[in-house]
Amino acid sequence: MKSYKLLKQTSLFFTYVALILFSLMIALPVLWTLRTSFVNEVDAYAMPPRLFPSFTFDNYRELFGNDGFGEFLINSLIISLASTAMAVPIASLGGYAFARYKAGGNILRFTVLATQMLPGVVLILPLFIVMSRLHLSDTYLGMTIAYLAFNLPFLIWIMTGFFASIPKDLDDAAAMDGLTPVQSFFRIILPIALPGIMATAVLSFIFSWNEFLFAIVLSGRNTMPIPVRLAAMKTRQGIQIAKLSAGTIIAIMPMVFISGFVKRYLISGLSLGAIKS
């Protein structure tokens, strides 16, 4: 009995050690980027790294003061929020149609997902030509439509799993109470699927916020988002690593805030969709 208990405690100890090491492997790059964002360029490139460099906020002041980084932050927020606001209702309706009414059968369902498998580099040239002819290049509307078209198939697939995990008996009970399918969807199903909808919204926002290929081709000076601006942060003297680190920290802060704010919905939503596909 004692040997079994000792073996269990030893196993638990090594499990926690492995988890701590794994967590450090993930967190260390972010923590090092955070540290670099608060030092000057000399300390940022110092080899070996200085353990106690002089910390400064000059990198952040230069980004928002001289480089106008706030403008690029606003561009990313507008495009990501607009794309998410359009994607979530469409994905919800499409997912509900696939889950409840088998709209188009499995052929249409897998066709929708198959469009997501096309590499973005294949779509970017014809998309650029279309946007240019419609005078939508370097516009919020054009970039929102592009993000929406690329992210929507995967979001519909995710929502299909969420709605399929909700018992169909609820629809039958709502019909017996005199509710139409539309009323049943908005009054009964949507409140239950709220965690899944929140998870889908978070994923849509993250996909749009991190998008680079479409952004670098379709955006311009008026709509340039943060990923493109970070990629362009290079001077004749090379990459300003301290300022780039500050910009990277600013870029990931909305993700950290949103994930922390909707953490409960995100976990329950992803778990809901995993019950049944």
Q: Name residues whose C-beta falls within 8 Å of residue 10's C-beta, 6 or more positions apart in sequence.
A: none
Q: How many domains is the chain partitioned into structurally?
A: 2
Ordered alpha helix ranges (H), the chain: 2-36, 41-44, 58-65, 69-101, 105-116, 120-133, 140-164, 169-176, 181-184, 190-192, 194-210, 213-218, 226-231, 241-261, 263-275
Predicted confidence (pLDDT) at residue 272 exceeds the cutoff of 60: no
- Residue for token digits 């499995």? 106
Predicted confidence (pLDDT) at residue 86 exceeds the cutoff of 90: yes
Asked whether the beta carbons of 3 and 20 are under 8 A apart, the reply is no
More confident residue, 134 or 120: 134
**Do 26 and 105 belong together in one domain?**
no
Per-residue pLDDT, averaged over 208-223, amounts to 88
How many angstroms separate the CA atoms of 53 and 39, rounded?
A: 7
Predicted confidence (pLDDT) at residue 267 exceeds the cutoff of 70: no
**Do 24 and 154 belong together in one domain?**
no
pLDDT for the residue 85: 94
**Do 82 and 31 belong together in one domain?**
no
Asked whether the beta carbons of 237 and 42 are under 8 A apart, the reply is no
**Torsion, Cα of 21, 23, 25, 26 (10° steps):** 170
The mean of the pLDDT values for the chain is 82
Q: How confident is the model at residue 225 (pLDDT cuts 50, 70, 90)?
A: very high
pLDDT for the residue 276: 44
pLDDT for the residue 263: 65
> What distances in angstroms separate CA 35 from CA 30, 121, 139, one per listed residue?
9, 35, 35
**Do 8 and 95 belong together in one domain?**
no
CATH of the domain at 198: 1.10.3720.10
More confident residue, 174 or 148: 148
**Do 68 and 198 belong together in one domain?**
yes
**Do 226 and 128 belong together in one domain?**
yes
The total of other beta-carbon atoms located within 10 Å of residue 45's CB is 14
**Do 123 and 216 belong together in one domain?**
yes
> What distances in angstroms separate CA 216 from CA 175, 211, 238, one per listed residue?
49, 9, 21
Q: What size, in residues, is the chain?
A: 277
Q: Which of 4-8, 89-93, 154-158, 203-207 has the lowest mean pLDDT?
A: 4-8
More confident residue, 30 or 276: 30
Could you report the per-residue pLDDT of 32-80, keeping only the tens digit for each? Answer: 888 888 888 777 777 777 777 778 888 888 888 888 888 999 999 999 9
pLDDT for the residue 87: 93
Predicted confidence (pLDDT) at residue 237 exceeds the cutoff of 70: no
Predicted confidence (pLDDT) at residue 192 exceeds the cutoff of 50: yes
Domain of residue 70 covers 61-275
Could you report the per-residue pLDDT of 88-113, keeping only the tens digit for each? Answer: 999 999 888 888 877 777 777 777 77
pLDDT for the residue 195: 80
Indicate whether 48 belongs to any domain: no
How many angstroms separate the CA atoms of 199 and 33, rounded?
A: 28
**Do 94 and 12 belong together in one domain?**
no
Could you report the per-residue pLDDT of 143-164, keeping only the tens digit for each? Answer: 999 999 888 888 988 888 888 8
Asked whether the beta carbons of 244 and 36 are under 8 A apart, the reply is no
Asked whether the beta carbons of 196 and 159 are under 8 A apart, the reply is yes
3-state secondary structure of 254: helix
**Do 28 and 105 belong together in one domain?**
no
How many angstroms separate the CA atoms of 94 and 262, rounded?
A: 23
Indicate whether 142 belongs to any domain: yes
